[in-house]
Amino acid sequence: MWLNLLDYFLTVLHLLIIGLNLLGWIWPTTRRLHLWCVLMTAASWLGLGIWFGIGYCPLTDWQWQVKSKLGETDLPNSFIKYWIDRMAGIDADPVTIDVATAISFALVFLIAIYHNILKKRKPKSS
């Protein structure tokens, strides 16, 4: 039972992080948190990716360990692909999911840099 609760918790945490990465820049009060979340995601995907493969997410790794103990098999490399497949009832192309994820992430990364660094450097007009 505790493995099911842990799996549920990790799913909610995953979805919150994805939501923050995609939408956290919208509200001025969450922009700093958004920047940190985007930077941590990039550090995981690219930094840890040096050793574990580009796009590595320790949260996905932990969740897949839990799911394996719960008897799930043939888990994809990506939580996003897993969730899309599950919600849409399809077997989405992993390359398409990875490309869409990378493009979306690159856009929100640039938005985070703009709102937290570039926009703050501009002199305010009177």
Q: pLDDT tens, 62-96?
A: 999 999 999 999 999 999 999 999 999 999 999 99
Structural domain of 87: 2-121
Give the 3-state secondary structure of residue 75: coil
Residue type, 78: S
Going from the C-alpha of 106 to that of each of 41, 50, 69, the distances in angstroms are 11, 18, 34
Question: pTM of the full predicted structure?
Answer: 0.89
How many Cα atoms occupy the beta-carbon half-sphere of 108 within 13 Å?
A: 26
Asked if residue 126 is part of any domain, the answer here is no
33-45 pLDDT, tens digit each:
999 999 999 999 9
Structural domain contains residue 96: yes
Q: How many domains does the chain have?
A: 1
Quote the CA–CA distance of 69 and 114 in Å, as a whole number: 43
Of 17, 8, 34, nearest in space to 110 by CA: 34
Is 8 within a domain? yes
Quote the pLDDT of residue 120. Answer: 73
Q: Taking 90 as the threshold, does the pLDDT of residue 115 lie above it?
A: yes
At residue 11, does pLDDT exceed 70? Answer: yes
Instruction: Identify whether 46 is part of a domain.
Output: yes
Q: Tens of pLDDT along 13-29?
A: 999 999 999 999 999 99
